[in-house]
Amino acid sequence: MTQLAVTESAEAPSAPRTARRRVHDRSVGFDVVAHILLVIWSLIVVFPLLWVVVSSFKTTDEVLGNPLTWPHHFEWQNYVHAWT
């Protein structure tokens, strides 16, 4: 009975170490690909939001003329007009 208890305690710590090593080796490439995809997805999500905020400070002519440029001057009256 004593040998059985010693055998069980000796095997238990080695199983998680082996499993951790396999998961770490396999996940390095997955982590790189996942991070690249997350950065691309973040840009896809953030760009339209930034575009809407920047466009809200433009005049109508600036938005219709070239929507991807920075406003020449910030039109704070757009917010006054929207909220009144």
pLDDT of residue 6: 52
pTM, rounded to two decimals: 0.58
**pLDDT reading at 40 higher than 60:** yes
pLDDT of residue 53: 94
User: Stretch 4-32: mean pLDDT, rounded?
Assistant: 61
pLDDT of residue 29: 85
The half-sphere exposure of 12 on its side-chain side, counting CA atoms within 13 A, is: 6
**pLDDT reading at 2 higher than 80:** no
CB atoms within 10 A of CB 58: 21
pLDDT of residue 16: 57
For 70, list phi and psi in degrees, rounded to 5. Answer: -80, 145
> 75, 59 in Cβ contact below 8 A?
yes
